[in-house]
Amino acid sequence: MITRMSSLFLRTLREDPADAEVPSHKLLVRAGYVRRVAPGGYSWLPLGLRVLRNIEAVVREEMDAFGAQEIQFPALLPKEPYEATNRWEEYGPNIFRLKDRKGADYLLGPTHEELFTLTVKGEYSSYKDYPVTLYQIQTKYRDEARPRAGILRGREFLMKDSYSFDLTDEGLSQSYQDHRDAYIRIFDRLGLEYVIVSATSGAMGGSASEEFLAVAETGEDTFVRSTESGYAANVEAVTTPVPPAQSIDDKPAAQVHHTPNTPTIETLVDFLNANTDRKFTAADTLKNVLVKLKHPGKDWELLAVAVPGDREVDFKRLEAALEPAEVAMVDETDFAKNPFLVKGYIGPGAIQGNGIRYLADPRVVTGTAWVTGADKADHHVVDLVAGRDFTPDGVIDVAEVREGDASPDGKGVLVAARGIEIGHIFQLGRKYADAFSLDALGPDSKPVRITMGSYGIGVSRLVAAIAEQSYDERGLIWPRNVAPADVHVVVAGKDETLLRAGEDFAKQLSDSGLKVLLDDRKASPGVKFADAELVGVPTILVVGRGLKDGVVEVKDRKSGERQDVPVAEVVEHLVRVVRG
Amino acid sequence: MITRMSSLFLRTLREDPADAEVPSHKLLVRAGYVRRVAPGGYSWLPLGLRVLRNIEAVVREEMDAFGAQEIQFPALLPKEPYEATNRWEEYGPNIFRLKDRKGADYLLGPTHEELFTLTVKGEYSSYKDYPVTLYQIQTKYRDEARPRAGILRGREFLMKDSYSFDLTDEGLSQSYQDHRDAYIRIFDRLGLEYVIVSATSGAMGGSASEEFLAVAETGEDTFVRSTESGYAANVEAVTTPVPPAQSIDDKPAAQVHHTPNTPTIETLVDFLNANTDRKFTAADTLKNVLVKLKHPGKDWELLAVAVPGDREVDFKRLEAALEPAEVAMVDETDFAKNPFLVKGYIGPGAIQGNGIRYLADPRVVTGTAWVTGADKADHHVVDLVAGRDFTPDGVIDVAEVREGDASPDGKGVLVAARGIEIGHIFQLGRKYADAFSLDALGPDSKPVRITMGSYGIGVSRLVAAIAEQSYDERGLIWPRNVAPADVHVVVAGKDETLLRAGEDFAKQLSDSGLKVLLDDRKASPGVKFADAELVGVPTILVVGRGLKDGVVEVKDRKSGERQDVPVAEVVEHLVRVVRG
């Protein structure tokens, strides 16, 4: 296939678009791959659409390869199934809702658990029908509060979503593993650098869940990885290693100190170090943070969270830990209603003594001694020992994770990184099967409740994610499997001989099965070279001055390496370069 | 590729779905190709999606072949461009409208003229850039008042829409012709029986326009075709042959008759035939029909339309003829306001004498004599001669078209038929270029206003249109180019030898590049045969009792023809059958 730039619907831009901040957004617009139509809504121009389709094809191949079956749902969906699972409400302002001419409620599907569940229920009835995995590659909609970074976070985007339906938990584990393996093959084929992080579930509820993050400074997701192992996780999913319990017997008795003017951990530590003969650090103090939470359909209730004083409570980790409850910080009204809470000096006594649930950091193991509030203004207690002087109602792992923390797998320490979520695999369990009574009739004629998995890949986002990992100051650099063409033939000069030679090379390459982008425009060589670098086809063939000496130049876009190749050998050479 | 029915997500139904009326709807649901999700919203199950993709591929190939370039727009579109062309209003309740979380107005795109125009304007500026033709194959939305017939008229559907941009009218003609030729190739390749009818433009405004209609009894579009030529047209586009003018000199003078109790044409003709010595027919009378019309932004005005008394005014033709004005019938209030109009006895005198515009059927040529109202209750005038006693203000061709009417091309007579609109090609002209000032800078540095064409193919509707033309009482019969598989291998028996042979044939066929649907289920041969007929793959290979004698049966789904083929030859035989 030959695409001639003389007629291609492509106009590159020399300037970055004003609204673009991240490299992929700037370059995809400048190179004429996408154009903005509305906030979070982009059109795909010819080269962009090709890259998108190439990615789509890789995803489809790998899904089909493990037996997933492609179907397609409408994007415009009736409200009822989403009401049945309460997601019509739960999505809040994050989905697009509309009414039809008769006033019936619809939404633009953000994800299709409900429809897939209902469809399987409609077709299948016997245990012999299962397992089955269905998928679609389909346009999805989310009314993002802040669409950003071009196609990286749009409001209309292309997604592969799949759903597995199994009779048993073991079956679900297998389906999950099948997807995990397929995703690894997909992202490897796309040439991405990525990590697989343990994740929490977001709004979907359920158990095992991992995210595939393309490593990129501009990514919205932060994660931590070990300096010495393959461990990687969202901060929400990091588990703090639990230290061994200590002996209680050798601990001094708890003692209340008058600690005037110590409203902060720092002032408290300074005061104690100045006024006692011991040396304390912030890590020796226990900070009791009051929050409130609300389970669906219930009233707000208070919760106290204890974390070592050298760490803040990470609100994202807190939300994830308490899901599906809603969480909020307490305010003055809450303190006013609960006068036993002495702000700045709260201790376990007032908390537990007044029936407030008290959850502590995993570091608060039996035998650890803490400095904490004495439930009285300007007073703290020293040597309050867990398991002796107080016993939290449970453990909650929500303290901030820091670079340098030990990796949960015991190997190395954690460092922070950023990534773009490109895939998510998730064991839903029976939530949706319960909502719609999806049962199979078992061999004993008894119903078996189906268990499900849900798996997504952001297909259009991948275009941006790949671009984020593969560019330089001159433009895009596409991995071979996704590039809009195999070879970019640049006719570098206005001489008719050069043009004829370029056409001839293009034809021979095309006949050999390669996709060729042929720059047959009347523009100057400089303009053409700049456009070739910007557009980012991995191999560039320059038909220029050398032709009269029987050579053309083959340039590798990524390395910048140039090589003169004899005219007679160039087609064979390029076929070898492209096919690997 | 082998698809095993033992694991295929397919459950056929023995009964027609309750809501299905047309054959394609019944069969596509029964054969497990589509499932209803909402009114006018369907999901595509695996086999249905394959047929859809096969059709899409043919459309794409033929569009690419003549240089059209594929791009893709969002379906969720901002209001502003549609306001600029007034279509936000004009579409009325026929589009889906919604607001985002910030209250901004959006619509789900029913067609994309505005966006294509703006995009070309954004990229191109010089006359050297043109012509260009862009297309997309994209999900479209219309809030149909009456979605019907499954995917034949849905509210969410897949459409190929393309737009040509030319500097000159000749260029537009060429682009139009290119599309026309491509459409012919597409519909021929899809094995459709279709006609190309002259059409009016619907809500789009402009000039030349043709529709491609798949001939089908269940079609919503009526059209007429000549018994003796290839002429075919929508009734809106039929032009009545104009008879030659007659001499005025030999006509008797007009004479008013007292015609009591003749409120209808029939009673009038009977009265005249009984009370004069001449023989009149309804075709000798001239019926003056009052209607009212409203041009955008203006007040309603009256219009009188004269048609021969043996024909009704065809409201669809009337609307098409008066477009873009809105048309309505007059009511009692209108008569009350215009007392000179004597209901049942209206003549040209009162009409034209009171400043009402008067348009007449093409048959009302100079010298024709008519019986018509005398503007006085119970009175008619006979021998009122056109060009002598009255002269209409113009011609309007809106009388009903009847079977037996002469074909406008002079060959044969017209007969009525029904069809499904599968394609529409349309010379838009400069309407959208004017709305958005789409100009190219000409060679003389003066702006040249671009002229556009708009061209659509209902890709998902084609699945139904093809099915409507190709089925029998046992099921679907796919044309080879769109079938979900090339060969349906039926293992007719539970014997392990048969299954192994079936698997082996499937593998050999697949290795030869054919797509195989392999019925490896444990079901009875009867169930499998019935499913094979229902599913409609064009060639069925039955691996059954003959195997022990070294033969298998090859069955043609369409003709029902069966042939025993020696096992050693069957793969070669089938490759030949499939490849043609």
Chain A residues within an 8 Å CB radius of B156:
74-76
Report the 10 Å Cβ neighbour count for A479. Answer: 17
Per-residue pLDDT of chain B (580 residues; tens, 9 = 90+): 999 999 999 999 998 888 888 999 999 999 999 999 998 999 999 999 999 999 999 999 999 999 999 999 999 999 999 999 988 988 888 999 999 999 999 999 999 999 999 999 999 999 999 999 999 999 999 998 888 788 888 999 999 999 999 999 999 999 999 999 999 999 999 999 999 887 764 434 445 889 999 999 988 888 999 999 888 888 888 889 899 999 998 899 999 999 998 888 999 999 999 999 999 999 999 999 999 999 878 899 999 999 999 999 999 889 888 877 889 999 988 888 888 989 889 999 999 999 999 999 999 999 999 999 999 999 999 999 999 999 999 999 999 999 999 998 889 999 999 999 999 999 999 999 999 999 999 999 999 999 999 999 999 999 999 999 999 999 999 999 999 999 999 999 988 999 999 999 999 999 999 999 999 999 999 999 999 999 999 999 999 999 999 999 999 999 999 999 999 999 999 999 999 8
Q: Do A11 and B115 touch (CB under 8 A)?
A: no
Residue B336: inside a domain: yes
Q: Do A78 and B43 touch (CB under 8 A)?
A: no
**∠B485-B489-B492 over CA atoms, to 5°?**
150
Residue B347: inside a domain: yes
Q: Do B69 and A100 touch (CB under 8 A)?
A: no
Residues contacting B10, CB < 8 A, separation 6+: A123, B32, B45, B46, B47
Chain A residues within an 8 Å CB radius of B71:
9, 43-46, 49
User: Residue B475 forms beta bridges with which residues?
Assistant: B472
Residue A573: inside a domain: yes
Chain A residues within an 8 Å CB radius of B93:
101
Q: Do B115 and A44 touch (CB under 8 A)?
A: no
Q: Is B410 left (phi over 0), alpha (psi -120 to 50) or beta?
A: left
**Same domain, yes or no, for B281 and B346?**
yes
Per-residue pLDDT of chain A (580 residues; tens, 9 = 90+): 999 999 999 999 998 888 888 999 999 999 999 999 998 999 999 999 999 999 999 999 999 999 999 999 999 999 999 999 988 988 888 999 999 999 999 999 999 999 999 999 999 999 999 999 999 999 999 998 888 788 888 999 999 999 999 999 999 999 999 999 999 999 999 999 999 887 764 434 445 889 999 999 988 888 999 999 888 888 888 889 899 999 998 899 999 999 998 888 999 999 999 999 999 999 999 999 999 999 878 899 999 999 999 999 999 889 888 877 889 989 988 888 888 989 889 999 999 999 999 999 999 999 999 999 999 999 999 999 999 999 999 999 999 999 999 998 889 999 999 999 999 999 999 999 999 999 999 999 999 999 999 999 999 999 999 999 999 999 999 999 999 999 999 999 988 999 999 999 999 999 999 999 999 999 999 999 999 999 999 999 999 999 999 999 999 999 999 999 999 999 999 999 999 8
Of B71, B78, B106, the CB nearest to A9: B71
Which candidate in A30, A71, A517 is best for mutational testing of the B interface (most B CBs within 10 A)?
A71
Q: Identify the closest residue of chain A to B115 by CA–CA distance.
A: A37
DSSP-assigned letters across all residues of B50-78? HHHHHHHHHHHHHHHHTT-EE-B--SEEE
**Same domain, yes or no, for A165 and A207?**
yes
Of B98, B119, B124, the CB nearest to A35: B119
Of the three residues B361, B395, B429, the one that is the final residue of a domain is: B395
Residue A246: inside a domain: no
**Same domain, yes or no, for B101 and B199?**
yes
**Same domain, yes or no, for A446 and A390?**
no
DSSP-assigned letters across all residues of B508-553? HHHHTT--EEEE--SS-HHHHHHHHHHHT-SEEEEESGGGGGTEEE
Distance, CA of A341 to CA of A288 (rounded, Å)? 11
Of A7, A49, A78, the CB nearest to B67: A7
Distance, CA of A291 to CA of A308 (rounded, Å)? 16
Residue B244: inside a domain: no
User: Residue B301 forms beta bridges with which residues?
Assistant: B293
Note the pLDDT tens digit of each residue in B481-515.
Answer: 999 999 999 999 988 999 999 999 999 999 999 99
- CA distances A157 to A140, A213, A542, B306, Å, are 5, 18, 36, 56
CATH number for the domain spanning B549: value is 3.40.50.800
User: Residue B448 forms beta bridges with which residues?
Assistant: B440
Q: Do B44 and A132 touch (CB under 8 A)?
A: no
Comparing CA positions, the residue from B513, B539, B466, B515 lying closest to residue B58 is: B466
**Same domain, yes or no, for B353 and B460?**
no
**Same domain, yes or no, for A365 and A338?**
yes
- CA distances A393 to A334, A338, A396, B540, Å, are 21, 20, 10, 69
Element (H, E) at B3: strand B2-4
Distance, CA of A557 to CA of A561 (rounded, Å)? 8
Of B37, B106, B139, the CB nearest to A115: B37
**Same domain, yes or no, for A516 and A444?**
no
Length of chain B: 580
Q: Do B71 and A145 touch (CB under 8 A)?
A: no
**Same domain, yes or no, for A92 and A173?**
yes
Q: Identify the closest residue of chain A to B96 by CA–CA distance.
A: A100
Of B8, B96, B132, the CB nearest to A98: B96
Length of chain A: 580
Of the three residues B468, B498, B530, the one that is the final residue of a domain is: B468
Q: Do A41 and B139 touch (CB under 8 A)?
A: no
- The dihedrals phi and psi of B360, each to the nearest 5 degrees, come to -125, 155
Amino acid identity at A117: T
**Same domain, yes or no, for A175 and A58?**
yes
Distance, CA of A127 to CA of A142 (rounded, Å)? 35
Q: Do B70 and A93 touch (CB under 8 A)?
A: no
Distance, CA of B140 to CA of B161 (rounded, Å)? 10
CATH number for the domain spanning A343: value is 3.90.960.10
Domain that holds residue B309: 255-395
**Same domain, yes or no, for A300 and A151?**
no
Which candidate in A1, A37, A151, A520 is best for mutational testing of the B interface (most B CBs within 10 A)?
A37
Which candidate in B76, B135, B178 is best for mutational testing of the A interface (most A CBs within 10 A)?
B76
Q: Do A96 and B98 touch (CB under 8 A)?
A: yes
Q: What's the token pair of residue B123?
A: 């990229």
Q: Identify the closest residue of chain B to A80 by CA–CA distance.
A: B38
SS3 B468: helix
Q: Do B100 and A143 touch (CB under 8 A)?
A: yes
Alpha helices for A234-380 (secondary structure H): 265-275, 315-322, 332-337, 348-353
Q: Is B21 left (phi over 0), alpha (psi -120 to 50) or beta?
A: alpha
Give how far B421 is from chain A: nearest CA, Å: 22
Of A49, A74, A101, the CB nearest to B38: A74
Note the pLDDT tens digit of each residue in A52-84.
Answer: 999 999 999 999 999 999 999 999 999 999 999
**Same domain, yes or no, for B440 and B387?**
no
Q: What is the DSSP letter of B241?
A: P
Note the pLDDT tens digit of each residue in B360-408.
Answer: 999 999 999 999 999 999 999 999 999 999 999 999 999 999 999 999 8
Q: Identify the closest residue of chain B to A81 by CA–CA distance.
A: B37
Distance, CA of B137 to CA of B56 (rounded, Å)? 8
CATH number for the domain spanning A140: value is 3.30.930.10
Total domains, chain B: 3
**Same domain, yes or no, for A177 and A40?**
yes
Give how far A501 is from chain B: nearest CA, Å: 23
Give how far A57 is from chain B: nearest CA, Å: 13
Of B73, B124, B156, the CB nearest to A43: B73
In terms of Cβ atoms closer than 10 Å to its own Cβ (0-12, 13-18, 19+), residue A95 is buried
Distance, CA of B437 to CA of B447 (rounded, Å)? 10
Tell me chain B's radius of gyration from C-alpha atoms: 30
Residue A406: inside a domain: no
Q: Do A76 and B41 touch (CB under 8 A)?
A: yes
Q: Are A73 and B37 in contact (CB under 8 A)?
A: yes
Chain B residues within an 8 Å CB radius of A45:
71, 123
Q: Are B367 and B245 in contact (CB under 8 A)?
A: yes
Q: Identify the closest residue of chain A to B6 by CA–CA distance.
A: A129
Of B37, B38, B77, the CB nearest to A38: B77
**∠A528-A533-A539 over CA atoms, to 5°?**
100
Report the 10 Å Cβ neighbour count for B126. Answer: 11
Element (H, E) at B194: strand B194-198
- The dihedrals phi and psi of B340, each to the nearest 5 degrees, come to -70, -15
Amino acid identity at B184: I
Distance, CA of B118 to CA of B191 (rounded, Å)? 36
Q: Are strands B326-329 and B286-294 parallel, antiparallel or unpaired?
A: antiparallel
Residue A247: inside a domain: no
Distance, CA of B5 to CA of B518 (rounded, Å)? 6
Residue B194: inside a domain: yes
Which candidate in B9, B69, B73 is best for mutational testing of the A interface (most A CBs within 10 A)?
B9
Which candidate in B1, B3, B69, B158 is best for mutational testing of the A interface (most A CBs within 10 A)?
B69
Of the three residues B468, B496, B511, the one that is the final residue of a domain is: B468
